[in-house]
Structure formats: structure tokens, C-alpha cells
Structure 1
């Protein structure tokens, strides 16, 4: 790793400027190489700060760091969905990837359902790459980096972290290490479910999800999964939370959401979730970055959907 070259790339990205074509290829190639060496399930230690969906809201990501601290002073785990919908998905993903490469033992990224070729074709990231880089290689290198992202994490052996949620096929955390993750997620099955599933207070067991992928899962199966794996609770992202977070099943499951005023019109708060240990945690709530910090927004139509 050329630290001097990487630091120059980071200097640009911190102020929302894209690297040139060759430096971008260098970053994406190096990022893929760093990520693919990690296991499917990261084994991490507290203290650590968890972050939910970002969705290309670059200036709100800067707000997140101003509230939660900056790497490498703080340890971070991001729970996926870095791209799509926001104006700055390329800058957002590239900054997080560059931080991962520069501080590999302090910065951790796992995969969300939007880190996918099919989803990014439909929700804006592919089009953004084409608009900002005429070379199609950049988008393809992004897909390779997406495929290299780990799938889950366990903190201190106590806290299970994943983007979406549980699957009826998931009995043990170790099962996730058997998945070949270096591929586009399939439409159905365990790999898909952990990216797409959602908790639901109104059900027991598993039910079909209106998303068309993953499941709804109840408190009973959440408690069973945690007990069988000697875990205390789980954290996930994937769903907008108006207050920035949501506590499910009397604290067995938490949603962490880190994109304030989602899609620049949602009106919601955002949070980071600080875990000192499983018995000492804290949500830090923040609002969207002030208008004066955002600069001129690009000429781009906002998507007319929330998923």
C-alpha cells in the first residue's frame, strides 16, 4: 500500500472531490484486496461505534463523523447500504473504502442489500458512476469491491451485527462462514435473507416480506437464535427509524439508522450506536448537515421511492 498516494486520495474525498481515474482504479482494486482477506463474519472487540445506512448522503456522513469521532481514533462498523438514492454515492463509498484501506484494524464495512449489481442498476448508483466516470471499468470495480464485503460481525462474542436480519435457514452464526460471498447475492436463500429481512413485533416465527426478498422475523425466533449462539442482542440497519434508532423485542434487536432526513425529505433523525460493552451502550442522535455545509447540490432528480 502506498500510504502517501492513499492520503492524497483521502484529502480529496474528505472535501467531496473525486480522485482521477487512475487513482480511483487504484483505490477500488486495493480495497477489494483488503476486504476479500477478511472472513464472512468479522470478530470484533469493543469499544466500537455502529453506523447504519448512509445512501450517498455524503455531507451527512461528515456530520456522523463529527458526532461519533473520526478514524483512527474511534473504531467503526458500518452496516451496509453506502450507495443509491443520495447525490454522492461514489464519494461516500470511496471515502469509506479509503478509510478501510488506510485503517484496516479500525474501520470495518459489511454488505447491505444495495451493494448489489441488480439493486444499483435500479436505484441510481450505476447511473451516477456513468455520469461521473466515462470509463465503465469504475462501476465494474465497485461491483468487485461489493462482492468482497464481509456479511456480518460479532462484537465481544455478545452482539450479532448484520444489515437486514435473520433467516429461517440460519441456526448458527458459523453457517455464514460457509457462504461463497464473492458473488452477486442470489434472489432467495440465506445469503439474500440476511441482507433483506426485517423484524416485526406483530408476528411469531417467520413470514413472507412485502419487499419480495428476505423474511419478517418475530421476537420468539430472535430470542431462540440469540440463546442458541450465546449472544445478548443483535444490531441491524435496513429500515428508516424516525428517531434514528428503534428497539425491538424488549432490547433483543436494535435498528441503527444513519441517514438523517432520508432522501433529503424524510424528516427523520439519525444515530450512531456506541458499544462500550454489551451492558454499556449509547445512541448518539444527529440531524442532517446544515445547508451551509453542503455546497451546491448537483443537478439530479431525486428518486421517487423508499425501500
Structure 2
């Protein structure tokens, strides 16, 4: 029997419901009660839909001014309400503070639903002070495997809410540029970040069977890329079978192309929650901690600009071992919120009906792939450049039964082959090596179509 569709009562949400919702979540977390016992599904759908509308009014690439009060960037939280509340308690609440979240709100933590709904309500209450980016866990492929689907179905006795959360994720921005100088995202840079418009034009929802191939690659890099200071090549296929890793040379190329000076990203594995991966140019932060390990800290990054227009980055660390408990911080934030509720609220224009309710959550939307993996890239190479692959010197030396090694080689070759086929004499990317440029120029020296490039590719790597 088909599940009954829950719809919003209108296209708006009352301020009183937003503020009560924030306090209700804190109350549930404080006393260890399920959110579903105090909030009906219809209200949660309304919160998700109003948040979707708010996200869709924002660009895929946010461009945020840096006010005199600065901004605080928050990394991976993974369902840890304790880490979030500790940060809010020590730094402050809107409208006194502006926050940019880098994604990974869910995944593994004890309060995944409560945390993301809490941040969404903060955004609905103070939309110009709370900004939320999408992380790799906010995708269908990851969230269905990391336990979030199970959490949704244990909290709500249906499959609807998991689908609705994924519809919300599909609306979220994926990157932000602060003060025209600092790019922020969950994962990292992409060789296809040749200009800002490339990020802006990624469609929503980002379903790979309806997107351009390079848009798919760009999105995967923004959510999944990692840095590796030890690698010699600018970009190397990632061991996660999604995206690439990048070194400092690659970072410099992308920063120049985007006309920015630094990258702030999530995915930090540092024990103090913060690491300056490339001096003054790349900062990685992780905000969630390990309550059982006193050596692991979480961090956020404060950014401000002084009167001389110099930018200052201040990591703010915290630990959740031997501190006052979760109940204490729930009470403290509840009191702080009561004071913050006194600030002005500009209600968005309401509507008699909800536009998001009119969008049916078709099976295609629920299960379509969002993030292109190495598997799809390998398929493309074998379909479009198989002749070149069979003549590739390195490929011919590989054991074809060693599928990971074969896949890594094809994923490595993909950007060059794509340029040779679709950009006669040019390129769609940054961070090319001198050898790659030589190949492109040789192949198109006389304006002819690409021919076998086996020896040329080998020379590019020597």
C-alpha cells in the first residue's frame, strides 16, 4: 500500500514555529527523547520545504561579504549536537555572529536529524547570518550507506523522510567565496575550476544522467577532493574511487583561475581539528570530536579583516572530554536563544500553497546517481578513447586482472583524452603539465582530429 503523502498547510512558516522548533529540539536532546515524539511530520516537512526554497534563492556559489564582525567557518559535525552547542555557547548566536557550515551535518553521530533540523531552523530565523554548504554525506549515495536512512526510518515509521532529506540536499549550495578572496567548500579544488561560472552553472538537482560530464566531475571534486602535499603530479586519482587529490601546484593554478587567495575546506583528520595544509593558502577544519579521546579536538575558523585589509585566520579549538555535559549546553543555548529572539525578523513572502509540495518525489529523483565515480569515468574512457588506451605504454605494462591499477590509469588519462576529443588544440581545465600541453599542440598542429597518442602520453609523464 502506498504511503500517504504529507503536504504543507501553506507556503510559509510562522516565526513562532521556527523559534519553538529550536527550543523543542534542545529539549529533546537534553532529555534523550525522539524529536518525532514532540514534533509532527507535517511540521518537519514544512521546515524542509521552506529551507529548500531558501536554498534555491541562493546561488550554487555563494558570494559573502566580510563584515566588521567577520565570519566563523564550521567543519564536519557528523550529528554531534554537543560539538555544535559548545561552539555556539563559546562564540555566540546570530545576529551577533555569522556562520558558514561546510557540510557533513549527518553521518555516524548520535543526533543527526536533530542537528540538521536545528541548523535549518537557525537559517530560517537568521537567513543572512547562517549559510550552509553541501558535504559528501549530504548525497544519496553516501547517506543511504552511512546509516542515515536507518536513522530516518527508526525516527519516522516510513521511507518518506529519507527521500525528503535528500531532496533538501539537492537544493543546497556547494561552495562559497568570502570577501571575493577566500573560497570555501567541503572537499577541495578541481582542475575544472577554470572560472567561477563553472561552479555557478551546476544544476539542481545534480543528477549525473542529466548533467554535462565535466559538471559531474567538478561537483565530485568540490565534495570529495583531498590534498596531498607529497604527490609530484598536480592531480592524482583518489583512493576513495571518487575525485582526485591535489598538491600545492594544483592549488596555485586554481586559486589564480578563481582570482582568490586561499581555500578553506572540511574533511580535516588532524587531532586538533585544524591544519594549515599549504601555508597561508589552504586550511582544513573538522569540528566534531571524539568524546572518548581527550587528544582529539574540534575546531572552527574565525575570519576577519583589519583596517589595512589584511585577512586574519583564527582557529578556535574545543574538546568535549571532561567538560560540562550535553544537558548543560542545551539549557545554556536555550537561554541564549531567548535573548537572540529579540532581534528583528524579516518574514519572507508567504504563499497560499507550497511550491515544493507540488514536486513529486519520483523514484528517479530518489535513486539517481548524484556523484560520478571512477567507474563512470573508466566507462567513458573505454567507450570514447579505447584505441588510445590500448596503445598507452603504461597501460600495456599493467596486469589487466589488477582492476584497481587499471582504473587508476584510465582515470588519470581521462582529462587529457577529453581535451583531445572535445577541445581541439585547447583545454577545459587548469593545472596541465608542460608535457600535456605539448601533446595537445602536437596532435592539433595541423588542425587534424586526434590520432593515437601513446608515445606522447608517455613523454608527458617522464
TM-score of the alignment, normalized to the shorter chain, above 0.5: yes
Q: Shift of residue 224 of structure 1?
A: 1.6
Alignment of 1:44 with 2:95, yes or no, is no
Equivalent positions of 1:5-44 (< 5 A) are 5-15=17-27, 16=29, 18=35, 19-44=39-64
Q: Shift of residue 265 of structure 1?
A: 5.5
> Residue 104 of structure 2 contacts residue 138 of structure 2 at CA under 8 Å; is this kept in 1?
yes
Pairing partner for 2:141 from 90, 112, 118: 118
2:25 and 2:207 map into 1 onto residues whose CA distance is 27
> Residue 163 of structure 1 contacts residue 236 of structure 1 at CA under 8 Å; is this kept in 2?
yes
Pairing partner for 2:304 from 276, 280, 297: 276
Tell me the equivalent position of 1:4: 16
2:87 and 2:287 map into 1 onto residues whose CA distance is 8
For residues 254-282 of structure 1, the C-alpha deviation after alignment (integer angstroms, 9 at most, x for no partner) is 001101117x5594211111111262221
Richer in strand (by share): 1
Q: Secondary structure at the match of 1:122?
A: coil
Pairing partner for 1:143 from 166, 169, 175: 166
State TM-score, norm by structure 1. 0.90
Richer in helix (by share): 2
Q: From the superposition, tell whether residues 184 and 260 of structure 1 become closer, same or farther in structure 2 (CA, over 3 Å).
A: farther
1:159 and 1:14 map into 2 onto residues whose CA distance is 33
2:294 and 2:184 map into 1 onto residues whose CA distance is 25
- Aligned alpha-carbon RMSD (Å): 2.0
Equivalent positions of 1:197-208 (< 5 A) are 197-203=225-231, 204-208=233-237
State TM-score, norm by structure 2. 0.61
2:301 and 2:229 map into 1 onto residues whose CA distance is 22
Tell me the equivalent position of 2:100: 77
> Residue 193 of structure 2 contacts residue 258 of structure 2 at CA under 8 Å; is this kept in 1?
no
Equivalent positions of 1:91-240 (< 5 A) are 91-184=114-207, 189-203=217-231, 204-240=233-269
Q: Secondary structure at the match of 1:251?
A: coil
Number of residue pairs aligned between Structure 1 and Structure 2: 294
For residues 79-138 of structure 1, the C-alpha deviation after alignment (integer angstroms, 9 at most, x for no partner) is 000001001100011111111111111000000000011111111111001001113222
Tell me the equivalent position of 1:257: 286
Tell me the equivalent position of 1:88: 111
Q: Shift of residue 292 of structure 1?
A: 5.3
Q: Secondary structure at the match of 2:263?
A: strand
Which runs of no fewer than 5 residues in structure 1 stay unpaired?
A: 296-307
2:61 and 2:204 map into 1 onto residues whose CA distance is 11
2:75 and 2:199 map into 1 onto residues whose CA distance is 20
Q: From the superposition, tell whether residues 88 and 217 of structure 1 become closer, same or farther in structure 2 (CA, over 3 Å).
A: same
1:106 and 1:226 map into 2 onto residues whose CA distance is 26
Q: Secondary structure at the match of 2:296?
A: coil
Q: Secondary structure at the match of 2:136?
A: coil
1:261 and 1:181 map into 2 onto residues whose CA distance is 34
> Residue 63 of structure 1 contacts residue 289 of structure 1 at CA under 8 Å; is this kept in 2?
no
1:289 and 1:184 map into 2 onto residues whose CA distance is 41
Q: Secondary structure at the match of 1:247?
A: strand
Which runs of no fewer than 5 residues in structure 2 stay unpaired?
A: 1-12, 328-462
Q: Secondary structure at the match of 2:241?
A: coil
2:299 and 2:135 map into 1 onto residues whose CA distance is 18
